[in-house]
Amino acid sequence: MNKEISTYLAKCGNCKQIFAHPSLGDFAYGEIIFCSIDGQQYTHASAFSEFAQKISRLMPDNSSDFWDVIASLVDSIEDRKYSPHIHCLFCSSDNIEFWEGERIGVMNVSEASFLAAAALPEHELKLLVAQICECINNK
Ligand SMILES: [Zn+2]
């Protein structure tokens, strides 16, 4: 499902360019927008989807990596990888000086799909989740 999501100004701390990014603001408990790590695409996801709930059961309790793991499992379109952080549209940096600045419009954001990860047998998915967590924590 596509969603019309308000966009706001952000400024890159690396290249200093200003760009628009969609944000759900404070009214979206359990919802998130992922940004592709090249800064070009956005997709939205919910913590309450069947898939997200399954991932949450496979993760250690109190892990803070939930959204990073979910972002890593988004079906990649044109080999794009996704992140729970904003990435600069111009230089891909996630060093963002400010975000959620002036509201400037709306953007049509597609819902993230997880077909590839959801098709994995449970033990493989569990292994994959553990690998992603390890990778995040070694950064
Ligand atoms: Zn930049």
Q: By three-state DSSP, how is residue 61 classified? A: coil
Instruction: For the beta carbon of residue 76, count every other beta carbon within 10 angstroms.
Output: 12
Q: What are phi and psi for residue 45, nearest 5 degrees?
A: -145, 160
Instruction: For the beta carbon of residue 66, count every other beta carbon within 10 angstroms.
Output: 16
CA of residue 33 to ligand 1 center, whole Å: 19
Question: Residue 27 above 80 pLDDT?
Answer: no
Question: Residue 26 above 80 pLDDT?
Answer: no
Instruction: Note the pTM of the prediction, 2 decimals.
Output: 0.92
CA of residue 13 to ligand 1 center, whole Å: 7
Given pLDDT bands bounded at 50, 70 and 90, which one contains residue 8?
Answer: very high
CA of residue 16 to ligand 1 center, whole Å: 6
Q: What are phi and psi for residue 137, nearest 5 degrees?
A: -80, -10
CA distance 129 to 23: 26
Given pLDDT bands bounded at 50, 70 and 90, which one contains residue 16?
Answer: very high
Higher pLDDT, 4 or 79: 4
In terms of residue numbers, what domain contains 106? 3-137
Overall domain count for the chain: 1
Question: Residue 12 above 80 pLDDT?
Answer: yes
Question: Residue 74 above 80 pLDDT?
Answer: yes
